[in-house]
């Protein structure tokens, strides 16, 4: 059995049927973060079904088809990556991933996927790698971006899940576009990702659900957010900022809302950074359509888990 390091405290290893008990315990922890997007966790509800899932992948690997690998952090299984489809005859394969909360924010999935991509292109001579993701799954979409994939398009209402037909985005990477030496993500790209995640957390257009809690992942725990719209600044900690906005975005007060960056200037100084942004927003407030614009200034710091926002201030214009 091989082991690939994903950092000082993390490893990538095959997941095999004899590990079903450990796999089931992990899936039970991962359900809250996995279930909203894919029915993956629902396939393993007890030891028998967890064993069936891993045996199915073992059987497919024996036929040079799908493969599954686990990600261990400090000796605990926290997620995994897989070839959900591997067709050597056509040179096309598809990669998937999942992760429990304990493994988030460390770049583990991105590094694990790079290992699969290196092997598929370098060892097996594959021509195209695909990535299929629900349109609202921003975390998975950002992994695709960090891997250098291109968004091919959207398959509208591709499949039913929990009584609703879901749109599916298809991303891809071609062999000639891949370089194993290319860094996973530049500092600037990581800061871009944090800003997109922050702004996207409020989106509830087209019936999508906002994910305001993801803001906790973009900020350091004691982060500060400041509104300087009125006569005096209003200073929030993360809880005070998130709670009222989560309510407005889900109780019908603020609907079809989105906010997006239209211009930015970012300066990076070793382990700290600053960004000045111009943004726009629109939606229905108490049933009336509105449009607005403003400016943000954001400070970032590099932490052991990656770059995070430390403070943000904004003013609407």
pLDDT tens string 34-63 = 888 888 888 899 999 999 999 999 999 999
Taking Cα atoms as reference points, which of 242, 227, 246, 232 lies closest to residue 311? Answer: 227
What is each CA distance from 275 to 117, 261, 297, 301, 313, in whole angstroms?
33, 12, 6, 12, 11
pLDDT tens digits, one per residue of 160-195: 878 888 888 999 999 999 976 654 446 788 899 899
The DSSP bridge pattern shows strands 67-73 and 10-14 to be: antiparallel
- State the pLDDT at residue 230: 83
- Rounded to two decimals, what is the model's pTM? 0.60
**Cα(140)–Cα(191) distance, integer angstroms:** 17
Indicate the Cα dihedral angle 51, 54, 58, 59, nearest 10°.
70
Pair of tokens at residue 47: 């030891």
**Cα(81)–Cα(66) distance, integer angstroms:** 11
- State the pLDDT at residue 105: 74
- State the pLDDT at residue 124: 96
- State the pLDDT at residue 183: 47
What fold is seen in the domain 187-316?
A: Nuclear Transport Factor 2; Chain: A, (3.10.450)
| Whether the Cβ atoms of residue 286 and residue 253 lie closer than 8 Å to each other | yes
Taking Cα atoms as reference points, which of 107, 157, 149, 101 lies closest to residue 129? Answer: 149
- For domain 4-177, give the CATH superfamily: Gcn5-related N-acetyltransferase (GNAT) (3.40.630.30)
Sorted by where each begins, the domain ranges of the chain are 4-177, 187-316
Pair of tokens at residue 54: 């891993």
- State the pLDDT at residue 208: 86
**DSSP states of 13-77 as a string?**
EE--GGGHHHHHHHHHHHHHHHTTT-TTGGG-SSHHHHHHHHHHHHHHHHTT--EEEEEEETTEE
Task: Name the 3-class secondary structure at 182.
Answer: coil
Q: Any residues with CB less than 8 A from the CB of 189 and at least 6 apart, and which?
A: 145, 146
Residue 131's DSSP bridge partners are: 171
- State the pLDDT at residue 184: 45
Q: Any residues with CB less than 8 A from the CB of 216 and at least 6 apart, and which?
A: 238, 242
What is each CA distance from 261 to 41, 185, 293, 305, in whole angstroms?
35, 20, 10, 25
- State the pLDDT at residue 8: 66
The one-digit pLDDT tens for each residue of the chain (317 residues) are 578 888 768 899 999 999 999 999 999 999 988 888 888 888 899 999 999 999 999 999 999 999 999 999 989 999 999 999 999 999 999 999 999 988 887 788 998 999 999 999 999 999 999 999 988 888 888 889 888 899 899 999 988 878 888 888 999 999 999 976 654 446 788 899 899 999 999 999 988 889 999 999 999 999 999 999 988 999 999 999 999 999 999 999 999 999 999 999 999 887 899 999 999 999 999 999 999 999 999 999 988 777 899 999 999 87
In angstroms, the first-to-last Cα distance of the chain is 59
- State the pLDDT at residue 186: 63
Q: Given CA atoms 113, 115, 120, 125 in this order, what sign does their dihedral have?
A: positive
Q: Any residues with CB less than 8 A from the CB of 274 and at least 6 apart, and which?
A: 266, 267, 297, 298, 299, 300
């Amino acid at each position: 059995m091989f082991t690939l390091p994903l950092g000082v405290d993390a490893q990538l290893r095959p997941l095999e049927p004899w590990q079903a008990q450990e796999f089931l315990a992990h899936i039970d922890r991962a359900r809250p973060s996995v279930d909203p997007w894919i029915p993956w966790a629902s396939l393993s509800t007890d030891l028998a079904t967890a064993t069936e899932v891993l045996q199915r992948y073992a059987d497919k690997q024996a036929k040079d088809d799908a493969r599954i690998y686990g990600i261990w952090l400090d000796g605990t299984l926290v997620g995994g990556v897989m070839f959900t489809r591997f067709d050597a005859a056509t040179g096309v394969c598809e990669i998937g991933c999942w992760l429990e909360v304990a493994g988030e924010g460390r770049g583990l999935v991105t590094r694990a996927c790079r290992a699969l991509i290196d092997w598929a292109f370098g060892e097996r001579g594959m021509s195209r790698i695909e990535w299929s993701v629900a349109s609202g799954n921003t975390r998975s979409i950002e992994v695709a971006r960090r891997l250098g994939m291109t968004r091919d398009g959207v398959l509208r209402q591709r499949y039913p899940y929990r009584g609703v037909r879901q749109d599916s985005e298809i991303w891809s990477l071609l062999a000639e576009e891949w370089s194993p030496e290319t860094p996973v993500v530049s500092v600037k790209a990581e800061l871009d990702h944090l800003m997109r995640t922050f702004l996207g957390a409020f989106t509830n257009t087209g019936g999508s659900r906002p994910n305001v809690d993801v803001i906790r992942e973009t900020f350091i725990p004691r982060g500060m957010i400041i509104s300087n719209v009125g006569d005096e600044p209003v200073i929030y900690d993360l809880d005070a900022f998130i709670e009222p906005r989560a309510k407005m975005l889900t109780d019908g007060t603020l609907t079809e809302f989105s906010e997006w960056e239209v211009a930015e200037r970012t300066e990076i100084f070793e382990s700290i950074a600053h960004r000045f942004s111009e943004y726009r927003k629109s939606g229905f407030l108490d049933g009336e359509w509105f449009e607005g614009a403003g400016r943000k200034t954001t400070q970032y710091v590099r932490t052991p888990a990656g770059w995070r926002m430390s403070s943000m201030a904004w003013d609407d214009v």
